[in-house]
Chain A
């Protein structure tokens, strides 16, 4: 089952979503940030954006703060979905 991080109302109303989706076992551990047709991925090991596009500056600081506050929880969720590709592993 996918994991969706609960977000404050203001972010939800602006259509932001943070998810760990299925079928991503071959990728480095990451969370997906979704807003309308855009998608950003942040590596759970390095805390860095994984793709050059879309512009990472378009992700609001408020959302990045929520991610930081829930980092350990997100890492645990990834590990439970992908036990063969845990966050603490080879970079």
Chain B
């Protein structure tokens, strides 16, 4: 993905260096970038003025200029025009984002769709809108953040995102992002179901099922290391040596060539 960083403040560039962005800090550079941009372009704007300048360069009706991550305040009127050019768009008020190093790490992560970059709280509709690392968003009602047993309730005036996008903080209340996604993001549930299916097939899954059935711990396969058993169960070891397979089968009380059938 081509990344373009809009900022008149070159001091901000270093924080985003890992994304190897093309830095745009003048009108001329902006004009060239708009002309070259396409669906695969990610625009990160750290400056409201430059975002507006960008919109002035667009020829309407707009073609897709890619996706956008807006790190500055945004008016509803500007958002409408932006939505004509960019999809998806992620935005939040100051304080609603991960810190810059965490934001950059989350944008580069393989699992970025499972991490939250930023969010906004709308007290009128009693909802929180969260933007994930792939810039897709989801809306979560206040009621989803139920107080835990120790009675700590979420404080919606103190929203932040932490732990590289794994945590949504509402004051002292910290919600696990994967639990939120599981409840409110159908794509996330489908991805997890696929992962589960993948891990339930093959030698690793059979070994795990049999081991649990026999009420054995991974440590019970000594002299094989517990970590080796874990790696086989997780499908990390694709080709298991016959000697290892025989040792495992012996502990489980099955024939080595039948191990995978369980």
On A, residues with C-beta under 8 Å from B are: 1-2, 17, 19, 21-27, 32, 34, 36-39, 48-49, 51-53, 55-57, 79-84
Contact = CB atoms under 8 A, between A and B. Distances in A.
Interface stretch (B24-32, B169-177, B252-260): B169-177
B150 A81 contact: yes
B11 interface: no
Contact of B227 (A23, A32, A57): A57
Contacts of A38: 111
B165 A37 contact: yes
Interface residues of B, number: 37
B100 interface: no
A37 B106 contact: yes
Nearest to A57: B227
A21 B164 contact: no
Interface string B103-136: 0011001011001000000000000000000000
A38 B114 CA distance: 10
DSSP majority for the A interface? Answer: loop
Q: Which of B109, B174, B218 has the most CB of A within 10 A?
A: B174
A24 B144 CA distance: 11
Interface in B123-178: 144-146, 148-150, 152, 163-167, 172-176, 178
B178 A83 contact: no
Contacts of B59: none
A17 B163 contact: yes
